Structure 1
């Protein structure tokens, strides 16, 4: 069958031929699984893999949509789905106990009586996996008809340790209803919402709603179908937690790792946030006593008796954290009836918490807090274990995490611009001083909206605020495309912005800011066209509307350049730019030793 061809009508020769082929596939068990990585946008590490079923190569049913669609039409969906689940588990090669395997199941399958008894558990045990490694990803092959029954069945699996994901969010109403009814652990955002999101403000606003909702409900968000670096960068900056798509890795028979250059791209953009007050859980990690998993319980108990202030100990195997032993919980075990005689001479791995919260050091403090506070009330105040590349790095307490978040929010609210949320004058001065002290060449770009007063008077302050926010977005998006992760953008106030970029040549960045601004600003005119505007004194100026004036100043490193020099030179340069018609940039330099660049 050609790509895009519909399934044949039942009873036709084509349908009978496909039925024979499907029966042969099921009898010979000739389907196989490929695996596509799901990547953490907090750490750049592979978080898990989605198992994708493929029919025999060269078969008319090779494509999964045709294979499962035809199987459902002719009543063989349950048999095919069980076989696909077996193949997915059998071929999975997870690198750590924390990685997850996402297995697609049709919503119709959860009503299958053969789905309940425990065949999946038997498969997992056979291949060395556990329920906490598995996420059942509910697809939209058929809509859920009875949410009451579905919730009951899925709750049965949750109690065993499995997790639930809802696929194709944003593609239709049924996925949103499933989110509301089933309270999933993961939401997978459909490719249709992710494609070109860096250029589509409506898609961005919709995804922002998903991000906010997921944070409030402690649900993890996975963006699907990423094929462009621009999309990936936008998602990182929007706070989406996980990503999947051809850009990151193609599906393959052997689970693949993320290419090094993409991992570095993710890490750099996270570091950029760090320069503006972003804290990672690794910043809070403190040392703690560790014990090997085969240490006797008596030895751990003796340690706690000798160290009355010790709250817990981390249990490790070959330097990798595998469990947590809280002081209070250990003594509760020993104090119970026969506790001493039962446990004293056994190893600590018999009573340790085998499922502690273990997070990578690069994870944001905000996200670590969400994970920690969503735990069971019995584990709510357990220490959070911090690892680097899978190895023990330290622990963080709930108190330290919450205090840090409170301080970050108070500081951000105090110094950020209230309209755009960008760093204000205090942070701008701090950043400028830091760059001057580093002694490296950098660029300063002052950005001013021309004729903003005219726009505000004509269209109202609400539309004016929207234009200011749009300009802030344009600058940030341009930096994501043409700048570096270490570039800084601040809101001086009103309609003035500032960018500090690495190196002397920021001309491509200036050109990109103007291009994006000119492309998007007409939508603020409500369909009107203008041949003139008015300046601050009410004089008519021939111009098509609001424009941008950019003053690009290359600053040489060294003691000869000061903040005052930069301020004076930029003011003169901005005056020169504003004397020109249209959106323009002008360039100059301050300090010695800068080669010609424009």
Structure 2
């Protein structure tokens, strides 16, 4: 941290600082955090600023001075209050990230109940707040810190670790505190689209976060290429000047950036359905409709489980049938509520999602709700306007059906789609009549490897090949791209990337980089081909056939297959990992 020396004018500085605390003259600005699934604003990070024109306008100067003078708790307490007071969340699902120094956790005056009072006054709940832990290096007793944070979690607050990747302390804090969010430091994000080491590190973070059910937030995004790479890698959320600068009011995402995110987002398991595919019509009522109108509707439409409350086509609430009649069942409730407007008793914090959000993500959000809201309708919007709803049953059934179909025809070794789905995918691309590419992959001298090292190691090499093809698609492909397992050591990739040669080069690079580990240092003078003849070779290699389908003329699955077979022969006639290309 930068050392700041106030000694020559310490008295004046202390008087100014004390006056700032007394007058409560600090304020908050809010930087948006964007979902890399649907491009919507997921939440805001509150950033404290001192009075404009004051030497304490910079938060770095102000907070360091407060720490030097033993006034850090007073400043942080005021900063939290200002963050809540100025927050203007667009909906009840958005989160407010509030920075707190780790050593403030141990302060006996740090009472979360006080924060809860402020939240209540401004229409927020602990579930809307994420405490973002900074200054992790000052945590000396992780067991105590974990116990304190667990106390806050039970009240509904969530925890984020800031600046992950910037030092050992962040990794230790992740391991010990098990946060809900990990914020990836700008040092790992900058130029990640051209830095393979950073890309591999972030791939590891994504895998780890998935296993631990932790969400990743990439910080400091300033360029579209960085955004595309992070979206393709499967990072959950992002913030940075490209997506929105800190401001005192709410933010909107540039439509071009939103579409860029949607085009490049990573879809788990190759399933491309979004919640918008499940949207069904639902009855709507104006926010000033009478309770009696809604009750009459439910009486006449017994099959309806809920209605959406709107204000100019923008959903603002939900009224479920059972909850309405429960409220009207009280001794005086009927006469009390019957002629009042529905906004007085509706659920004003329903789950509202954008049509482009992945069904799996919506399922996680819906099933994490409290038990009394678990079966409430999920409201679906398009550009903020109401388009329909989906029930939790419909959402779960759609996920189950897709997974059952996938499991039925998937290859049991790699879990990738088999021949039936491969043929469907290629035929679908042909019918769409848009350019696409087919990459046919085959391992050279795999039989020799299997005979020499055993079938178990052979299976591991097959799984490795499946992994590198999927990783290459993630880095160089598009969200709709597809990887299938024909059988044995043969694979297929179907891509719409504009640079298919780069995709092949990435597959070869990843394969050659990792295949050496399967030999465990063994050496040989030659390998044997499938007929048993000795051939000089460094070991197993990867042959790729790249069939470019321009769709300018009518093509067929058989034509693509025959072209791939001819290219395969050419590739196998050469030593080492290579690819050959031809258009159809």
Q: Map residues 442-481 of structure 1 onto 2, 5 A cutoff.
A: 442-481=436-475
* Partner of residue 83 from structure 2, selected from 84, 88, 91: 88
Q: TM-score, normalised by structure 1?
A: 0.82
Question: Which position in structure 1 is the counterpart of 2:361?
Answer: 367
- C-alpha contact (below 8 Å) 1:441/1:504 kept by paired residues: no
- C-alpha contact (below 8 Å) 2:284/2:307 kept by paired residues: yes
Q: Map residues 188-203 of structure 1 onto 2, 5 A cutoff.
A: 188-191=182-185, 199=197
Q: Does 1:41 align with 2:36?
A: yes
Question: Which position in structure 2 is the counterpart of 1:79?
Answer: 74
Shift of 1:67: 5.2
Question: Which position in structure 1 is the counterpart of 2:177?
Answer: 178
Question: Which position in structure 1 is the counterpart of 2:295?
Answer: 301
Q: Does 1:113 align with 2:105?
A: no
Distance 1:45 1:118, change over 3 A: same
Question: Which position in structure 2 is the counterpart of 1:325?
Answer: 319
- C-alpha contact (below 8 Å) 2:288/2:343 kept by paired residues: yes
Question: Which position in structure 1 is the counterpart of 2:152?
Answer: 154
Q: Could you list the per-position Cα deviations for residues 546-570 of structure 1 after superposition, in whole angstroms to 9, with x for gaps in the alignment?
A: 2221222233536753222222222
Q: Could you list the per-position Cα deviations for residues 236-276 of structure 1 after superposition, in whole angstroms to 9, with x for gaps in the alignment?
A: 45654323346645556666544444322221134x74994
Distance 1:136 1:484, change over 3 A: closer
Ranges in structure 2 where 5+ consecutive residues have no aligned partner: none
For residues 479 and 209 of structure 2, the distance between their equivalents in structure 1, rounded to whole angstroms, comes to: 25
Ranges in structure 1 where 5+ consecutive residues have no aligned partner: 591-598
Question: Which position in structure 1 is the counterpart of 2:98?
Answer: 103
Q: Give the CA RMSD over aligned residues.
A: 3.7
Deviates more, 1:574-583 or 1:477-486: 477-486
The SS at the match of 1:172 is helix
Q: Map residues 500-515 of structure 1 onto 2, 5 A cutoff.
A: 500-502=494-496, 506-515=500-509
Q: Could you list the per-position Cα deviations for residues 83-116 of structure 1 after superposition, in whole angstroms to 9, with x for gaps in the alignment?
A: 3224434554544444322111224434442645
For residues 422 and 70 of structure 1, the distance between their equivalents in structure 2, rounded to whole angstroms, comes to: 57
The SS at the match of 1:321 is strand
For residues 461 and 70 of structure 1, the distance between their equivalents in structure 2, rounded to whole angstroms, comes to: 65
For residues 386 and 211 of structure 2, the distance between their equivalents in structure 1, rounded to whole angstroms, comes to: 31
Q: Map residues 335-346 of structure 1 onto 2, 5 A cutoff.
A: 335-346=329-340
For residues 293 and 440 of structure 2, the distance between their equivalents in structure 1, rounded to whole angstroms, comes to: 64
For residues 26 and 242 of structure 2, the distance between their equivalents in structure 1, rounded to whole angstroms, comes to: 26
Shift of 1:224: 4.4
- C-alpha contact (below 8 Å) 1:383/1:398 kept by paired residues: yes
The SS at the match of 2:580 is strand
The SS at the match of 1:422 is coil
Q: Could you list the per-position Cα deviations for residues 484-533 of structure 1 after superposition, in whole angstroms to 9, with x for gaps in the alignment?
A: 44433322222222223338973333333333433444444445677643
The SS at the match of 1:404 is helix
Q: Does 1:347 align with 2:341?
A: yes
- C-alpha contact (below 8 Å) 2:310/2:317 kept by paired residues: yes
Q: Does 1:379 align with 2:373?
A: yes
Deviates more, 1:280-289 or 1:143-152: 143-152
Deviates more, 1:337-346 or 1:66-75: 66-75
For residues 279 and 250 of structure 1, the distance between their equivalents in structure 2, rounded to whole angstroms, comes to: 32
Question: Which position in structure 2 is the counterpart of 1:402?
Answer: 396
- C-alpha contact (below 8 Å) 1:55/1:61 kept by paired residues: yes
Distance 1:537 1:414, change over 3 A: same
Question: Which position in structure 1 is the counterpart of 2:271?
Answer: 277
For residues 490 and 326 of structure 1, the distance between their equivalents in structure 2, rounded to whole angstroms, comes to: 44
The SS at the match of 1:430 is helix
For residues 397 and 561 of structure 2, the distance between their equivalents in structure 1, rounded to whole angstroms, comes to: 37
The count of residues paired between Structure 1 and Structure 2 equals: 568
The SS at the match of 1:211 is helix
* Partner of residue 549 from structure 2, selected from 552, 555, 564: 555
Q: Map residues 226-265 of structure 1 onto 2, 5 A cutoff.
A: 236=231, 239-245=234-240, 248-249=243-244, 251=246, 256-265=251-260
The SS at the match of 1:118 is helix
Shift of 1:148: 8.2
Deviates more, 1:393-402 or 1:440-449: 440-449
Shift of 1:315: 1.3
Question: Which position in structure 1 is the counterpart of 2:46?
Answer: 51
